[in-house]
Amino acid sequence: MAATASEQRARPTGSAQQSPAPHRAAQRRRGLQAGIFGVGAALPEHVVTNADLVERLDTSDEWIVRRTGIRERRIIAPDQPLSELAARACALALEDAGRTAAEVDQIIVSTITPDRVTPGVAPYVALALGAEHASAVDVNAACAGFVYALDQAAAQIESGRARVVLVCGAEALSRITDHDDRGTAMLFGDGAGAVVVAGGELEIGCGGFVLGTDATQADMLYAERDEQKLRMEGREVYRHAIARMVAATSEAIERAGLTIDDVDLFVAHQANVRILTATANELGLPPEKLMVNIDRVANTSSASIPLALAEAERDGRLKPGAIVALSAFGAGFVWGSGIVSWKERTHVCA
């Protein structure tokens, strides 16, 4: 479906974009396709460095950097609702896409740390944005939640049930971290990132998603309702993470009708820099195609991919039309990979 002139909206600050080279997927996919048109990120102000952790844990900056790649993380203030961070990321994503809150049909927030057991975070985001016509729902798929939420948003758009969907990953992991456990305390951080998903006549859009789960491994990474602390068999999680992300990403690339050489940037859940490097290596991706920002934000679960997307664009590593491979793995086990084109068009159907 081509956008008519009245349906087209220009991005507020964007300059003319080049049409990306046609891909094989374009020949197979027809009709309205979902794509990403805006991105936003919000981090808490408070920085906790490895040196801060060394003051109260039996660890060292050298160990943390060598084994995880993390140098510092952001921690949310005790009295700050996570929904505030999420709303800020969503507002920035809307502005980036040249959209208003009134146009949003649905808000999907991926989180395992909502401010209250119920309601979830998404209804508060709708309220803060003034998104009066939006429906709102939280997704709980741990670190893979953003990929799941993006897949669901794409399905809403492509089925015609929604025209504009906000997808947000927001986490306050510091609230469910055992700060006395040196095996996990250094890993986690807080933050929120969001993208605007809408429809257009796109060549790739949200081109191929592969999702999976295996709850036989659920005891490897979990938080109990009573204790509310993340517990993890790090080595086992590490091993499974690489294998599942490699397999899912390879399949997603194939489903999108692409090859590994078509991928411009690999933006995976920032769990551990060694996991990222090993996964990229096994996929056959050169280091310059791997996005890494774990050094500054640590592991922010489902916020990590949209945070990394925002940073990659800010640093000039993501240009319109770029092919991005997303991948995440976490508690459940639940994992997912997706192939998306980055802001493939300036104009979208509405």
Catalog residues that contact ligand UT7 under the rule CB under 6 A: 59, 63-64, 67-68, 143, 182-183, 186-187, 234-235, 237-238, 241, 271-272, 275, 299, 330
**C-beta separation of 1 from 342 below 8 A:** no
Residue closer to ligand UT7 (CB basis): 48 or 197: 48
> Least Å distance between CB 113 and ligand UT7?
13
Residue closer to ligand UT7 (CB basis): 129 or 187: 187
- Encode burial over 291-319: b for 16+ CB neighbours within 10 A, e otherwise: bbbbebbbbbbbbbbbbbbbbbbeeebbe
Which residue's C-beta sits nearest to ligand UT7?
Answer: 234
Helix (H) or strand (E) holding 252: helix 234-255
> Least Å distance between CB 272 and ligand UT7?
3
Residue corresponding to tokens 């893979």: 144
Q: Which residues are catalytic?
A: 143, 269, 299
Q: Is 66 helix (H, G, I), strand (E, B) or coil?
A: helix
Spatial strand order in the sheet of 135-139: 33-42, 190-200, 164-172, 106-110, 135-139
* 213 strand-pairing partners: 334
> Least Å distance between CB 18 and ligand UT7?
36
Q: In angstroms, rounded to a whole number, what is the distance separating the alpha carbons of residues 328 and 337?
A: 6
> Least Å distance between CB 58 and ligand UT7?
7
Helical spans, DSSP H, in 73-218: 82-97, 121-129, 145-158
Residue closer to ligand UT7 (CB basis): 63 or 222: 63
- Measured between alpha carbons, how far apart are the two ends of the chain, in Å? 11
Residue closer to ligand UT7 (CB basis): 160 or 183: 183
Strands 230-232 and 221-223: antiparallel
> Least Å distance between CB 130 and ligand UT7?
33
Residue closer to ligand UT7 (CB basis): 30 or 235: 235
Strands (E), the chain: 33-42, 46-49, 72-75, 106-110, 135-139, 164-172, 190-200, 206-213, 221-223, 230-232, 265-268, 323-330, 334-341
The whole-angstrom distance between residue 171's C-alpha and the CA centroid of its chain comes to 11
> Least Å distance between CB 285 and ligand UT7?
19
> Least Å distance between CB 234 and ligand UT7?
3
Residue closer to ligand UT7 (CB basis): 156 or 184: 184
Q: In angstroms, rounded to a whole number, what is the distance separating the alpha carbons of residues 319 and 94?
A: 18
Residue closer to ligand UT7 (CB basis): 135 or 217: 217
**C-beta separation of 189 from 75 below 8 A:** yes
